[in-house]
Structures are given as C-alpha cells and as structure tokens.
C-alpha cells in the first residue's frame, strides 16, 4: 500500500509526523537510494528501501532505553548551534531512537529514548501524562509555606499548576540551600523552574529522577540502559496501551 513518506516514517517510530516532515525537508531521507525532499511523495514501505541518515527504517525492532542526560546537552537529535545533543550519546545503537519529551539544556536526569512512536505519543498526551519526579536545589532556606504553595498549585502565565507532591529532603544551613523533590504530571515548558521562580527561589540544580515506573538506577551521567521487561510493561500500562 502506498502512503505518504512522513506517515511511513512516523509509523516506523522515527519521529512524529511533523518532525518527520522536517527530516524529509532537510534531505535526510532516501528511498531506494534517491534523496526525497518533497512532502507529497507516496511509497510502498513494504517494497522500498527507506533510510534516514543512511539507516534503514524498515521492520525496525522497537527498543526502549533510559538515558541519564548530563547538564549542557540539548534534547534534540541535531542542533544547528552545534551543541552536544542526546543523539551524540546513542550513536553506537543500530536503531534510530528519539527522546520522549524534553529536559532543558541545564537540567540533568532521566530521559526515555525509543523508536516506538505510538508509545511516545501516548506518554506525551495530556490524558496519560505520567508522574515525573525532580530533585531540586535552590539557594536559601525555603519556608514550609512556600513549599505548600507548590503543593497546592501556583499561577503561571499559562495557567494554574495542578497539585504537586513535594518532599523536603534537607536544609543545608552551612551552604545556605534547600534540597527537595517535586512530583508533577503535567509537562509544561520549564515548569519546575517557573514554579520555583514563582515562590521566589529560582532553581540552582534540577535533576529528573523518575518518569512513571522508571528511575536512574545503575546509571551514571551520559550512560543508558535497556528497560527491563517489567519496566516496559508498567510503562505501557501507564500510557494506556
């Protein structure tokens, strides 16, 4: 069956359809050895050899990794400003994985990397957004009433935040800072940083330590590991699959 190239790429888990269009326009896709840069072209995925950046997409096995993103790395597969990207760390993989959701350049921690476009879409959909836990360090000693504001919800320019779970970990009086964790299920841009700005304690360090059933166990910065069977089945359940 003939289908539009961007649809084939999305179905193969390369990227969302919109991202796939950008990949095509960038001249990164070849069909039977010929570079295709038009969006309207239709092909039969079963009878063509389709590659992205030289890697074949056909019949790609779905793979799932937890990646420990260091600070100073962009959550994209390519960066026009030539900064380090998450793709730089996954080059040894035969499959083309992409990040599910994003972490800011200066946020470290857990990123799910996969080539399963369907799971990625479900996880990102507001109706399935899974819990995400962040470890936050801010300068100063944050009073309980301020942490309560985060728990109740704060008014950001894009609306009130949903109630969050906040646990105070330590007050470090010597270094004058506070360490706490916060669990949210929304996925707004720079949400934790903006919430902390709102209470008057801008973030110094931010690290995602959990995403649904996933954690960073066994990983050091810049490393990745395969999800266990149990993690994958819990993650799929959380995504409604």
Smallest distance, Å, CB 54 to ligand URA?
31
Nearer Cβ to ligand URA (43/67): 67
Q: Is 115 in the site for ligand URA (CB under 6 A)?
A: no
Smallest distance, Å, CB 62 to ligand URA?
25
Smallest distance, Å, CB 190 to ligand URA?
4
Binding mask 159-198 for ligand URA (x = CB under 6 A): -------------------------------xxxx-----
In angstroms, what CA-CA distances link 57 with 31, 75, 113, 223? 10, 22, 16, 24
Q: Is 135 in the site for ligand URA (CB under 6 A)?
A: no
Nearer Cβ to ligand URA (84/193): 193
Contacts of 2 (CB under 8 A, 6+ apart): 42, 43, 44
Q: Is 211 in the site for ligand URA (CB under 6 A)?
A: no
Q: Contact, 206 vs 70, CB < 8 A?
A: no
Count CB atoms within 10 A of the CB of residue 226: 11
Q: What b/e readout covers 50-78, taking b as 16+ CB neighbours within 10 angstroms? A: bbbeeeebeebeebbbbbbbbeebbbebe
> Does residue 205 have an active-site annotation?
no
Catalytic residue among 79, 88, 104, 181: 104
| Beta strands at 108-114 and 205-211: parallel, antiparallel or unpaired | parallel
Query: Which residues are tagged catalytic?
Result: 104
């Amino acid at each position: 069956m003939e289908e539009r190239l961007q649809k084939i790429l999305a179905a193969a888990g390369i990227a969302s359809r919109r991202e796939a269009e950008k990949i095509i326009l960038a001249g990164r896709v070849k069909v039977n050895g010929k570079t295709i840069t038009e969006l309207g072209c239709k092909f039969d995925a079963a009878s063509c050899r389709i590659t992205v950046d030289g890697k074949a997409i056909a019949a790609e096995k779905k793979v799932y990794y937890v990646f420990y993103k260091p600070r100073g790395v962009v959550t994209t597969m390519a960066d026009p400003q030539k900064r380090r990207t998450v793709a730089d760390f996954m080059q040894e993989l035969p499959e083309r994985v992409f990040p599910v959701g994003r972490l800011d350049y200066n946020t470290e921690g857990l990123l799910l990397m996969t080539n399963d476009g369907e799971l990625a879409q479900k996880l990102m959909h507001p109706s399935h957004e899974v819990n995400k836990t962040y470890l936050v360090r801010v300068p100063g000693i944050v009073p309980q009433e301020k942490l309560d504001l985060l728990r109740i919800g704060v008014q950001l320019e894009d609306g009130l935040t949903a109630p969050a779970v906040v646990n105070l970990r330590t007050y470090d009086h010597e270094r004058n800072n506070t360490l706490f964790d916060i669990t949210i299920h929304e996925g707004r841009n720079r949400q934790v940083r903006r919430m902390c700005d709102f209470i008057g304690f801008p973030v110094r360090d931010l690290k995602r330590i959990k995403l649904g059933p996933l954690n960073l166990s066994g990983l050091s910065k810049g490393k990745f590991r395969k999800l266990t069977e149990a993690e994958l089945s819990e993650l799929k359940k959380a995504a409604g699959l």
